């Protein structure tokens, strides 16, 4: 059952407003694509800059790490900023029996920061270079990146959900006061978690393997790409040079 059916609102009006109409109770196999945030409108205008600002702060801390241990305050601060709790009821991701996100836990956050400490000393850092970090971190797929984006931009998703909930005239709602302002969220019955609504313009389908062979091929390809990129850095460092941002981007996008 889709959102429009459960909450008795017009699917046509949702489409006209550009709102994603998810199936309730299962994940949609969609994700928030950071590249689509460049041209996002309304509550999401400027959201790509918010992501870069967050990553920029992380990078400044990473550059102060002396050793990857809990005795190093910069190390702890950096991986803490890259740790994100799951965001429930976004209907994003792969799960078939629920709508909770996967999030980024302590182990994966530490892996990302550890890899970043290896890469960043050899890169003339510009903010969007951090978008490539996911390539180097095994286990950081589109669904986890999407959860990370929703966490960082949550105030924008909250404001969007409130506006759309009122525009659609959703009757079953729950109100929360956040920073002295009341926001409405769709909530079908007491005890349910509130639903976050999403604009269709920032969503893309997740890549899905149709069988175990494709899944193994995809996993093997990801590993090969990481190895190739890591070798690029190793070779460049040996030669006293560094790959440019455009070279890295071209390399990544040329390999599906």
Tokens 């407003």 belong to residue? 17
Q: Do 174 and 229 sit in the same domain of this protein?
A: no
Global confidence as pTM: 0.75
Q: Do 146 and 232 sit in the same domain of this protein?
A: no
Separation in Å, CA 78 to CA 1, 63, 209, 251: 41, 10, 33, 27
Q: Do 69 and 102 sit in the same domain of this protein?
A: yes
Could you tell me which of 34, 38, 19 has the C-alpha nearest to residue 146?
Answer: 34
pLDDT band at 160; cut points 50, 70, 90: very high
Please give the angle made by the CA atoms of 91, 156 and 150, to the nearest 5 degrees: 40
Please give the angle made by the CA atoms of 11, 12 and 15, to the nearest 5 degrees: 85
Residue, of 254 and 182, whose pLDDT is higher: 182
Q: Do 113 and 203 sit in the same domain of this protein?
A: yes
Q: Do 201 and 158 sit in the same domain of this protein?
A: yes
Lowest mean pLDDT among 78-87, 94-103, 104-113: 94-103
pLDDT of residue 216: 55
C-beta of residue 187 within 8 angstroms of C-beta of residue 193: yes
Q: Do 97 and 190 sit in the same domain of this protein?
A: yes
CA pair distance 107, 114, nearest whole angstrom: 10
Longest dimension (CA), the chain: 64
Is pLDDT above 80 for 1? yes
Query: What is the span of the domain harbouring residue 142?
Result: 3-208
CB atoms within 10 A of CB 138: 14
pLDDT band at 46; cut points 50, 70, 90: very high
Residue, of 69 and 26, whose pLDDT is higher: 69
Q: Do 51 and 14 sit in the same domain of this protein?
A: yes
Per the prediction, the chain carries an average pLDDT of 78
Q: Do 193 and 222 sit in the same domain of this protein?
A: no
pLDDT of residue 190: 82
Q: Do 221 and 201 sit in the same domain of this protein?
A: no
Number of domains in the chain: 2
pLDDT of residue 98: 46
Q: Do 203 and 215 sit in the same domain of this protein?
A: no
C-beta of residue 19 within 8 angstroms of C-beta of residue 198: yes
Residue, of 253 and 67, whose pLDDT is higher: 67
Q: Calculate what percentage of the chain has a pLDDT beyond 70.
A: 66
Q: Do 139 and 54 sit in the same domain of this protein?
A: yes
Q: Do 167 and 245 sit in the same domain of this protein?
A: no
Span 182-188, average pLDDT: 94
């Amino acid at each position: 059952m889709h959102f429009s059916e459960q909450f008795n609102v017009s699917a046509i009006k949702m489409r006209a407003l550009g709102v994603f109409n998810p199936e309730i109770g299962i994940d949609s196999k969609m994700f928030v694509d950071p590249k689509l945030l460049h041209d996002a409108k309304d509550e999401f205008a400027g959201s790509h800059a918010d992501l870069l600002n967050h990553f920029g702060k992380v990078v400044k801390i990473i550059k102060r790490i002396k050793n990857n241990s809990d005795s190093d305050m910069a190390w702890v601060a950096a991986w803490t900023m890259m740790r994100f709790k799951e965001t429930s009821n976004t209907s994003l991701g792969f799960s078939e029996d629920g709508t909770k996100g996967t999030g980024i836990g302590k182990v994966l956050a530490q892996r990302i920061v550890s890899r970043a400490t290896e890469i960043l000393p050899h890169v003339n850092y510009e903010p969007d270079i951090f978008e490539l970090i996911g390539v180097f971190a095994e286990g950081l797929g589109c669904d986890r990146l999407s959860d990370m984006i929703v966490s960082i931009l949550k105030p924008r998703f909250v404001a969007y959900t409130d506006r759309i909930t009122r525009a659609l005239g959703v009757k079953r709602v729950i109100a929360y006061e956040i920073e002295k302002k009341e926001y409405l969220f769709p909530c079908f019955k007491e005890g349910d978690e509130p639903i976050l609504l999403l604009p269709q313009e920032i969503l893309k389908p997740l890549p899905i393997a149709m069988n175990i062979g494709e899944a193994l091929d995809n996993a093997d390809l990801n590993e090969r790409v990481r190895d190739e990129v890591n070798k690029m850095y190793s070779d460049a460092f040996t030669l006293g040079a560094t790959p440019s941002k455009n070279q890295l981007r071209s390399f990544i996008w040329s390999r599906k």
